[in-house]
Amino acid sequence: MTPEQAEEAPPGEPAELASLPVEVRAPVRALVHAVDQMRDHWAEADEARRRELWQQVHRAHDAVWGITVAVALARARV
C-alpha cells in the first residue's frame, strides 16, 4: 500500500480493501455489505426478501465490475 492509499483508508479498513484503487473501494464496500446482509438475513427471510437480498448482491457485483473496467480502461489510456 502506498502512503497516499494509507492516508485515504478509513481506520480499521482491511488491508486488502485499502490496497485497492480509491475509485474501486466504495463499490467493493457496498458488495461486502450486501453479501453480509444476505448471510445475516437469509435463514429467516421469506421468498420476497431473499429475492431482494440476491438482487442487492447482483447490483453491487455489477457495480464493482463496472468501475473496475472503467478504471482499467482509464489507466490504459494514460
Average the pLDDT over 6-31 and give the result. Answer: 81
Report domain extents, the chain.
3-77
Instruction: Say what the pTM is.
Output: 0.75
pLDDT value for 6? 47
pLDDT of residue 9: 61
Cα–Cα distance measured from residue 31 to residue 34, given in angstroms and rounded to the nearest whole number: 5
Predicted local distance difference test score (pLDDT) of residue 1? 46
pLDDT for 11 = 74
For residues 18 and 66, which has the higher predicted lDDT (pLDDT)?
Answer: 66
More reliable by pLDDT, 4 or 73: 73
Q: Whose CA is closest to 28, among 63, 59, 2?
A: 63
pLDDT of residue 71: 87
